[in-house]
Amino acid sequence: MSYLGDLFSQTRSPARYRFENKSPKNFVAHDRNNNVTNSSPLAVQCSQINETDFSRFTSHFSPLKKPAFTMAEVLITLGIIGIISAMTLPSLIGKYQFKVFEVGLKKQYSLLQNAINLAVYEEGLQYCYTYHREGSISYGAERGDCELLENFLISSLKLKPYDDSIKEEYAKREIIRSEGGKSINWNCDYDTYISNARVYGTNDGTIILLYRNFFPALFIGIDVNGEKGPNRWGYDVFFMGLSNHNDYSNPSPKILLTDEFCSIIEKGGRFARTILRNQEVDSDTDRYW
């Protein structure tokens, strides 16, 4: 038989297979002895069909195979995966949210500090900062340029007045303290700063709070995602002020946005310094920037 003939014999259809097996040449005559009967090949093949699975792509029969997994096994596996997901997803989501808040703080800090630098070096607004008095544990403040500096920030950053009711979302000092929060200085009157602050919104949805006071000279609050929440200090809201950072005893043109004089965080939150320094844990020993 030729190769082409072999090919057709290997790929014959089930119909042709049945037709060929019905041919008389495949039958074996009964013996004259009625007590002895020879089974025909067709009968043998029929009995095998009940126990085998026919593959149209091959010229042979394949034995039936047991499924790899039962339905019960699949359901048990899915249940285990669900339990593991329920245990790990909240942690992953929390870490992701923290990362989003970090990016937001770093962006707004950069914008604010750059605007402050412009005000100092191009507008000559050098006197709006808090400093550490020489020979004393108390702080002092230079406030002569604070109003002008505040107006400069509003103009350069294109800040727009925002609804004051957002301030009610921020926790009070004593509540934060009683619930295990932290503060750079518990003597700072955080509640007064917040309640009297002027609220502004940015084009990207950030909320900025500004308040001129004796101490700190200019309070700047940053809510990196606006009203979206959680609106918690040290999570998406940060308390900062201006410092004469180069030399606490002598006035200097450099003014730094920092949290070293007044800052507060709720339990589980992080100070702005921790995030801006790319640290995972707050440092209580390195207070000044």
Q: What are φ and ψ of residue 140, in 5° steps?
A: -125, 175
| Structural tokens at position 209 | 């709070």
Domain co-membership, 7 together with 125 = no
129 located within any domain: yes
Residue 207, Cβ neighbours under 10 Å: how many?
25
Higher pLDDT: 3 or 193? It is 193
Instruction: Report how far apart, in Å, the C-alpha atoms of 218 and of each of 4, 155, 206, 252, 285 are.
Output: 94, 16, 19, 17, 25
Contact 266, 235 (CB under 8 A): yes
8 confidence band (pLDDT: 50, 70, 90): very low
pLDDT surpassing 80 at residue 277: yes
Q: How many domains does the chain contain in total?
A: 2
Domain co-membership, 164 together with 44 = no
The H helix count followed by the E strand count for the chain is 8, 12
88 located within any domain: no
8 located within any domain: yes
Domain co-membership, 121 together with 245 = yes
What is the pLDDT at residue 215?
73
268 located within any domain: yes
89 located within any domain: no
Domain co-membership, 33 together with 166 = no
Domain co-membership, 171 together with 115 = yes
What is the pLDDT at residue 7?
45
What average pLDDT does the structure give for the chain?
A: 78
267 located within any domain: yes
What is the pLDDT at residue 54?
47
Range of the domain at 112: 99-276
Domain co-membership, 50 together with 123 = no
Query: 3-state DSSP call for residue 239?
Result: strand
Q: What is the pLDDT of residues 84-138, one digit of tens each?
A: 766 666 655 557 788 999 999 999 999 999 999 999 989 999 889 888 776 666 7
Alpha-carbon gap, residue 167 to 170, rounded angstroms: 6
pLDDT > 90 in the chain, percent: 46
Domain co-membership, 156 together with 272 = yes
Domain co-membership, 182 together with 116 = yes
Q: What is the pLDDT of residues 130-175, one digit of tens each?
A: 887 766 667 788 899 999 999 999 999 999 999 999 999 999 999 9
Give mean pLDDT, residues 193-203: 96
Amino acid at 50: N
Q: What are φ and ψ of residue 265, in 5° steps?
A: -140, 150
What is the pLDDT at residue 152?
97
